[in-house]
Amino acid sequence: MTTILSILLSVVLSAQLDSTQLWIGDQSGLHLEATAAAEDKVTFPVFTSSLQEGIEVVEQSPVDTTATTDGRTVYHQDLVVTSFKDSLFYINPIPFVVNGDTQYTNSLSLNVIQPFELDTTDAITDIKPVMKPKIWWWGILRWVLLAILIAGLAVGGWFLYRWAKRFFVKEEAEPVDPELLRPCDEVALEKLDRIKEEKAWQAGEYKKYFSELTFVVREYIGRRYDVHSTEKTSDETLQAMKPVLTENDQKDLYQRLESMLRLADLVKFAKWSPTPDESETSLVSAYTFVKETAPVPEPEQAEPTVEKGAES
């Protein structure tokens, strides 16, 4: 009775391999099992990447438990091991911790066999030569042709749109500035009259006065002589107007224009304060320049008269 009781109270540990003989690189299952009383505390060993030197652990399952009919508990864990060394291995007993004490399983043996004969005299070479992939010319040509087709359709569609727009879409004429339909000298004189009525120079607004005055003259020069004076500096405007005025024997007008533009630059950029006489003289020069250079309208051609005696 005492012997049976001691057997029931003892912890039974076991280790078992699915196969004790493997080809190199093959795998085998290793099963660890512990049977203990319900109140016993059993701790399984912790494996990293190897079981021992030469034997590697590929996988390991969690520890599961099963209760037996006699009130005991069976602990079970499965491992998968392999080896890449041709050798007969002696697997040492695997340690468990039971109630704080170390106990061991049975020992095992594993025979790992190299099935091929290796010729160590040969140099190491690749298994197969490096393969050079073939160029898929039809696939490349197909994508190139598709790109050309898409580009051709896009260009053709653009030309078709332009053609249809020309024949079916009526373009709205841009509104014309009413001032452009009137003589340039008439428009300039009206603007000079407004500047004269405002008398901004008398209120000390010299910059505003000379800016408006020179803009009217520059705008008139642009329409009269096709010189874009509003986009040019005073020096560029004078350089463009000098041959025009000197050829027409209008040197006095050129001097008036030069004095007015130079004085305006001093007022606008150098904060020059002109005298009342200089301000009025600039306005008179502007009037004179416009009136003296105004285009002369062409005379209307009279209809030819037929004498009465010539009719008979």
Average pLDDT value over all residues in the chain: 82
Does residue 7 carry a pLDDT above 60?
no
Give 45-75 pLDDT, tens digit per residue.
Answer: 988 888 888 899 999 999 999 888 888 999 9
Query: Which of the four pLDDT bands, split at 50, 70 and 90, describes residue 294?
Result: confident
Lowest mean pLDDT among 59-73, 166-180, 225-239, 290-304: 166-180
- Over range 160-188, report the average pLDDT: 73
What per-residue confidence (pLDDT) applies to 126?
A: 61
What per-residue confidence (pLDDT) applies to 178?
A: 67
Q: What are phi and psi of 98, to 5 degrees?
A: -120, 115
DSSP 8-state class, residue 72: E
CA–CA distance, 58 with 28 (Å, rounded to integer) = 10
Query: Which of the four pLDDT bands, split at 50, 70 and 90, describes residue 1?
Result: very low
**How many residues comprise the chain?**
312
CA–CA distance, 110 with 28 (Å, rounded to integer) = 10
DSSP 8-state class, residue 108: E
Cα-Cα end-to-end distance for the chain:
174
Task: Identify which of 123-127, 151-155, 158-162 has the greatest average pLDDT.
Answer: 151-155
- Fold of the domain spanning 8-113: Immunoglobulin-like (2.60.40)
What per-residue confidence (pLDDT) applies to 5?
A: 41
Give 77-99 pLDDT, tens digit per residue.
Answer: 999 999 998 889 999 899 999 99
Per the structure block, which two tokens stand in for 23? 């080809």
DSSP three-state, residue 241: helix
Inter-helix orientation angle 234-247/206-225, to 10°: 50
What per-residue confidence (pLDDT) applies to 135?
A: 78
Does residue 8 carry a pLDDT above 80?
no
What per-residue confidence (pLDDT) applies to 283?
A: 87
Does residue 9 carry a pLDDT above 90?
no
- Over range 29-34, report the average pLDDT: 93
- How far is the CA of 270 from the CAs of 36, 71, 248, 263, in angstroms? 109, 112, 33, 10
Does residue 310 carry a pLDDT above 70?
no
What per-residue confidence (pLDDT) applies to 41?
A: 92
State what percent of residues in the chain have pLDDT above 90.
24
Q: What residue spans of the chain are helical by DSSP H? A: 2-9, 137-168, 184-198, 206-225, 234-247, 251-269, 276-293, 308-311
Query: Exposure string (b/e) for 216-253, b if CB count within 10 Å is 16 or more?
Result: bbbbbbbbbeebebeebebeebbebbeebbeeeebeeb
Query: Which of the four pLDDT bands, split at 50, 70 and 90, describes residue 201?
Result: confident
What per-residue confidence (pLDDT) applies to 25?
A: 87
What per-residue confidence (pLDDT) applies to 252?
A: 86
What per-residue confidence (pLDDT) applies to 167?
A: 67
Give 257-292 pLDDT, tens digit per residue.
Answer: 888 889 888 988 888 888 888 888 988 988 998 888
CA–CA distance, 104 with 15 (Å, rounded to integer) = 10
Give 99-152 pLDDT, tens digit per residue.
Answer: 989 999 999 999 999 877 666 666 666 666 677 777 778 888 888 999 999 999
- Written as one string, the DSSP assignment of 36-60 is EETT--EE-----SEEETTEEEEEE
What per-residue confidence (pLDDT) applies to 171?
A: 57
For the chain, the domains span: 8-113, 179-293
CA–CA distance, 183 with 298 (Å, rounded to integer) = 13
What per-residue confidence (pLDDT) applies to 44?
A: 92
What per-residue confidence (pLDDT) applies to 268?
A: 86
What per-residue confidence (pLDDT) applies to 168?
A: 67
DSSP 8-state class, residue 90: E
Per the structure block, which two tokens stand in for 106? 């049975």
- How far is the CA of 137 from the CAs of 13, 143, 144, in angstroms? 68, 10, 11
